Amino acid sequence: MKNLLVTTALAAVLMSSAASAEDVKIGVILGFTGPIESLTPGMAASGELAMKEVSDSGKFLDGSTVTPVRGDSTCVDSAAASAAAERLITSDKVSAIFGADCSGVTGAVLQNVARPNGIVMISPSATSPALSDAEDDGLFFRTAPSDARQGQVLAEVLAEKGVKSAALTYTNNDYGKGLAESIKSNAEAAGIEITIDSSHEDGKGDYSAEVGALAQAGGDVLIVAGYLDQGGKGIIQSALDAGAFETFVLPDGMVGDSLPAAIGDGLNGSYGTIAGTDSEGAGMFNKMAEDAGIKIDAYVGESYDAAALIMLAMQAAGSSNSADFKSKIMDVANAPGEKILPGELGKALELLSEGKDIDYVGATNVELIGAGESAGSFREILVDGGKITTAKYR
Amino acid sequence: MEILNALALLSNYLVIPALAYGSQLALGALGVTLIYGILRFSNFAHGEMMAFGTMAVILVTWFLQAQGISLGFLPTELLALPIGILAAVLLALGTDRIVYRFHRGKKSQPVIFLIASLAVMFFYSGLTRFIIGTADQSMGDGARFIFTAREFKEWSGLDEGIALRTTQGITVAVTLICVAALFWFLNRTRAGKSMRAYSDNEDLALLSGVNPERVVLIAWILAAALATIAGTMYGLDKTFKPFIYLQLLLPIFAAAIVGGLGSPIGAVAGGFVIAFSEITVTFAYKRVLTYIMPGDNVPDGLVQLLSTEYKFAVSFVILVVVLLVRPTGIFKGQSV
């Protein structure tokens, strides 16, 4: 027995001292069940695509490999997400967390698991403005832009269109509230009067009372910060029926082909914003993803970038220890340095091992600002002829 | 002119929606009140019965549309309605046979019936979701408007438009026809009179030779038909989603109780009382006041008594007040 203990201890010492060529584990915590379960398989596959690319290059930390370990965030259940993250860290010994996805569980995992254990986490899709100010010990980053940024962009669009006053309605949850607050404060700063900001509940049959209140407040346009197949659609339909508003402003939750299909011609002339970029990297990533059999959907590019940033930072620090590489993430993501596009992770690893600087551009034109969140490129859309068209990128 | 604008504004956002909504509630409350009058229990499964009947109507409509049959500017659902009613009637009679007849035989307490209806409600809701799913189904083809807000503005020269949707017109017309037919049936026909007799005094009616099983049968047929019509009208006017019929249960019961449970005329009046209260209390009067206040006074706020989130709370408050002050309702129904 004693011998066995000694041998085990010896083996453990040997293993930890063998810094060269280890198997680095990265936790993939996404809502594989729950409200966004249709998006997460693509997101996870994109992140794992980057990990495979790095492993296959053979240049990562002296020939180390990367293994993803999946956990279920459920998107809505903070306790379940924290338990899954705890398991990944304590029993699977992951070095970093790629995730979580929804804003609520991401905040919970950060506070309950990542900070106490000192593990870096990069979320590809949490957009709540509240996460910008969260205490994170420099461990939390995200490749998705905050909704606060979208409010800013939307206010710019409104000002350019010459809107003087607008009514605002939002879906009654964290996303809707955060986005509405940001739109309101930015629009008012730009001199646009918000005549009313009222919430609506999703899943109701009748929105005529809500529209009645919005119509009484009046405004040039109606901003609908909701969901396109939920209350947002009901509000727009009801407003058009009553002749209350003619132009609608659509933030990201409302942009999708099913909306003009459901509403018809009444939506023509409405406009909005959604995260998006026309950069070279986006095209390259879409091709890579298609080859790998991944459906191009929301947040797949952000997922690839989040996973890539984790591994590039590890390479830059020469260590897979969160405490060592957490300070390198901003360095590899931003200028100066050679620009790195999707599919060029091998080249990036080589440059880093030579001690050179890189500027990771990736699929979504990554530029981390503030407390480590994507500055975000937005696509301004216009509904024209029953279709969503791109007006410009900003 | 200012007064006319204010009136147009009120009609567009308050009177027309409330009339359509009130009609839908009245149809629903009639079914609840009939069952209460004859079988003497509150049928909680009524909302889900509406959902089931509407689902049947939608399925038949899809079939008709696939065959290329339509009704011109009227929605095809009207053509499918009789078959939907038939499906709902069969379901109601089947349920009565399996669940309620057993309890009638045992002369169970009303509260037992009520709990049984709760179980039936869950069964119906599962059945509907199992067949058509939980998602939104948009209903209604044909012309969307009788006249639009813009057409009205051009015709009248007012600043405020009134829009009247085809579905709103149909809802009110169908409700008038149904209510008239029901009252004719209850007051003029032998079967209707025997139902009223049974409802007023069961023992005397039995002594006079009224067949109780036949009365119950007619009550279920009428309730299922009314539920399907109410559900289809609501779905046409708004949207079909199984969940919203569960939410409708509260205003429907409020309407039936406010009018007086067991009283058909009360159910109709109650439906409109609830609909108009819900909408007038949560309506913002800012622009109306802007039109009718003298001079250039514009109110600062929205002049809204309650935010629209509290729409259903209005039904609750009315319900509580009526139960405290006048438990038999406006038209002296049975006390709850």
pLDDT of B255-280, one tens digit each?
999 999 888 999 999 999 999 999 89
Instruction: Flag whether B334 is in a domain.
Output: no
Q: Could you tell me which of B198, B239, B214, B186 has the C-alpha nearest to residue B38?
A: B198
How high does pLDDT run on average in chain A?
88
Residue A20 reports pLDDT greater than 80: no
Contact between chains at B285 and A172 (C-beta distance less than 8 A): no
- Do A162 and A82 lie in a common domain? no
Nearest Cβ partner for A243 among B14, B144, B150: B150
Residue-level pLDDT at A15: 47
Q: Which chain B residue's Cα is nearest to A214?
A: B284
Does the structure show a pLDDT above 60 at B210?
yes
Instruction: Say whether both A76 and A188 belong to one domain.
Output: no
Question: Are A303 and A44 in contact, with CB atoms under 8 Å apart?
Answer: yes
Name the H helices within B69-165. 77-95, 101-105, 110-132, 149-156
- Cα–Cα distances (Å) from B79 to A17, A22, A363, B204, B228, in that order, read 80, 71, 53, 42, 13
For residues A345 and A258, state if they share a domain. Answer: no
Query: Does some domain include residue B155?
Result: yes
B134 at A interface, C-beta within 8 A = no
- The rounded distance, in Å, linking the Cα atoms of B239 and A359 is 51
Average pLDDT of chain B, as a whole number: 90
**Judgement on whether residues A157 and A132 belong to the same structural domain of the protein:** no
Range of the domain at B177: 2-325
Spatial strand order of the sheet with A221-225 comes to A193-200, A165-171, A221-225, A248-250, A271-275, A378-384, A387-393
- pTM assigned to the model: 0.75
Q: How far apart are CA A314 and CA A38, in angstroms?
A: 31
Query: Is the Cβ of B308 closer than 8 Å to some Cβ of chain A?
Result: yes
Strand partners, A389: A382
Are both A361 and A380 inside the same structural domain?
no
Residue B292 lies in a domain: yes
Nearest to A199 among B163, B248, B309 (CB): B309
Taking CB atoms and an 8 Å limit, are A215 and B285 in contact across chains? no
The contacts of residue A87 (CB under 8 Å, 6+ apart) are A71
The tally of domains found in chain A comes to 2
CA torsion angle for A177, A179, A180, A185 (degrees, to 10)? 120
Residue A14 lies in a domain: no
Does B331 fall in a domain? no
Q: Do B288 and A216 touch (CB under 8 A)?
A: yes
Same domain, A220 and A311: no
Most distant pair of Cα atoms in chain B: their distance: 72
Shortest Cα distance from B149 to chain A (angstroms)?
5
Cα dihedral: B4, B7, B9, B15 (round 10):
-150
pLDDT of res. A5: 55
Residue B336's pLDDT is what?
47
Rounded average pLDDT over B87-115: 94
Q: CA dist A125 to A102, A145, A313, B19, B288, Å?
A: 7, 8, 20, 45, 44
Q: Please tell me if residue B13 touches chain A, with a CB cutoff of 8 Å.
A: yes
Q: Which pLDDT does position B81 carry in this prediction?
A: 95
Q: What percent of chain B has pLDDT over 70?
A: 99
Return d(Cα B147, Cα B166) in angstroms, integer: 8
Is this complex's ipTM strictly greater than 0.85?
Answer: no
The percent of residues in chain A predicted with pLDDT above 90, rounded, is 50
Residues of B in contact with A212 (CB under 8 A): 13-14, 17, 279, 282-284, 308
Residue A4 lies in a domain: no
Q: For residue B10, what is the domain's CATH number?
A: 1.10.3470
Alpha-carbon span B67 to A362, nearest angstrom: 52
In a domain, A40, yes or no: yes
pLDDT of residue A45: 95
Contacts of A208 in chain B (CB under 8 A): 13, 17, 21, 279
Q: Give the C-alpha distances (Å, rounded to integers) separating B88 from B35, B50, B120, B124.
A: 15, 8, 14, 11
Residues of chain A whose C-beta is under 8 A from some C-beta in B? 172, 196, 198-201, 203-206, 208-213, 215-218, 229, 234, 241-244, 262
Of A239, A277, A244, residue with least CA distance to A376: A277
* B250 CB within 8 Å of a chain A CB: no
Rounded to 10 deg, the angle between the B311-325 and B242-259 helix axes is: 30
CB atoms A212 and B148 under 8 Å: no
Q: Is B253 on the interface with A (CB under 8 A)?
A: no
- For residue A208, what pLDDT is reported? 85
Residues of B in contact with A242 (CB under 8 A): 12-13, 149, 163
B241 neighbourhood in chain A, CB within 8 Å: 203, 205
Q: A325 or B72: which carries more pLDDT confidence? A: A325
- A198: containing domain: 148-276+376-393
Residue whose C-alpha is closest to residue B235's, from B66, B65, B84, B29:
B84
State which H helix or E strand residue A200 sits in. Answer: strand A193-200
The one-character DSSP state at A382 is E
Do the domain assignments include residue B335? no
- The torsion of the CA quartet B202, B207, B211, B217, rounded to 10 degrees, works out to 0
Average pLDDT over residues A167-183: 88
> Are the beta carbons of B283 and A213 closer than 8 angstroms?
yes
Least trusted range by pLDDT, from A173-177, B159-163, B243-247:
A173-177
**Does the residue B10 lie in any domain?**
yes
Q: Is B216 within the bounds of a domain?
A: yes
pLDDT for the residue numbered B153: 87
Please tell me the distance in Å from A235's CA to the nearest CA on chain B: 11
Q: Nearest C-alpha of chain A: how many angstroms from B288?
A: 8
One-letter amino acid for residue A275 of the chain: A
> For chain B, how many structural domains are there in total?
1
Band (pLDDT 50/70/90 cuts) for residue B333 is: low
CA-CA distance, A310 to A325, in Å (whole number)?
Answer: 8
Same domain, A256 and A340: no
Distance (Å, rounded) from C-alpha A20 to C-alpha A23? 10
Angle ∠(A176,A181,A185) on CA atoms, nearest 5: 150
Q: How confident is the model at residue A4 (pLDDT cuts 50, 70, 90)?
A: low
Min distance A218 CA to chain B CA atoms (Å): 9
Residue B142 contacts by C-beta under 8 Å, 6 or more apart in sequence?
B70, B71, B72, B73, B74, B75, B76, B166
Residue of A nearest to B247 (CA): A204
Distance from C-alpha of B190 to C-alpha of B200, rounded to nearest angstrom: 15
A206 CB neighbours in chain B (<8 A) are 21, 237-238, 244
CB contact under 8 A, A212 and B279: yes
All residues at 6 or more sequence positions from B57 whose CB lies less than 8 Å from its CB, including other chains: B77, B80, B81, B83, B84, B228, B231, B232, B235
**Tokens 């405020």, located at residue:** B160
Specify whether A308 is located in the same domain as A369: yes
CB atoms within 10 A of CB A264: 12
Q: Do A87 and A25 belong together in one domain?
A: yes
Q: Which of A216, A229, A243 sits opposite B163 (nearest CB)?
A: A243
A126 and A249 assigned to the same domain: no
Chain B residues with CB under 8 Å of A201 CB are 309
CATH assignment at residue A387: 3.40.50.2300
Partner residue facing A242 (CB), from B163, B240, B308 = B163
| Residue count of chain A | 394
Helix (H, G, I), strand (E, B) or coil at A195: strand
Indicate yes or no: CB of A205 within 8 angstroms of CB of B247.
yes
In the prediction, which pLDDT does A360 show?
A: 93
- Give the distance from CA B108 to its chain's centroid: 29
Residue B239, in any domain of the structure: yes
A267/A292 same-domain check: no
CA dihedral A156, A158, A159, A165 (to 10 degrees): -140
Nearest CA distance, B181 vs chain A (angstrom): 28
Shared domain check, A64 and A103 = yes
Whether the Cβ atoms of residue B312 and residue B251 lie closer than 8 Å to each other? yes
pLDDT in the model for residue A296: 80
B315-322 mean pLDDT = 89
